[in-house]
Each structure stands twice: as structure tokens, then as C-alpha cells.
Amino acid sequence: MANFAAAVKGQGVSGAKSNEHRLLIRAITELPTETRDVFVLHRMAGLAYDQIAEVLGIDRERVQAQLTSALVQISETLRAAED
């Protein structure tokens, strides 16, 4: 997960979608490590909160807090890019 950007690089997105894709990748990549790990495991790997907690060795409440933080930070990054 530490090399998230490399894992999704070049997935065949073009035009305006390509720019949106790059912005999203940048927003996710800029997240703090634990926050990014929680986001990727939940939104991309489809793991449930309890599974993420077990994989990362943290409690379920921390998973929820980190996911909320990820969504807020990603939203703020994307909104700032629109301005």
C-alpha cells in the first residue's frame, strides 16, 4: 500500500477523466500512511471495518475515524484543485 500511486498508474484513463484521476491519486497519496491504508483497504479492497482493524492491528473505532479523516482530506484536496 505504500506504493499506491505506482499500483494504479496507467490504468487507461483519458481526457478530463485522466485529470480527475490524477487529482484523486494525488489526494490519496498525500494522506498520512495509516489513513491511506484504511482508505485503500476499505474502498478499493472492499474489506470491512473489523477486517481492516485486524490487518492493521488497530481497533474498529480507529478504522472509522481514519476513514472519516480520509474522506474529509480527499474532499478538501479535490475542492482546492477546482478553485
CB 60 within 8 A of CB 53: yes
Whether residue 82 is predicted with pLDDT greater than 90 in this model: the reply is no
Phi, psi torsion values for 30, nearest 5 degrees? -80, -10
**Tell me: the pLDDT tens digits for 51-65?**
999 999 999 999 999
pLDDT, tens digit, 9 for 90 and up, residues 16-44:
578 889 999 999 999 999 999 999 999 99
Give the separation between CA 70 and CA 66, rounded to whole angstroms: 6
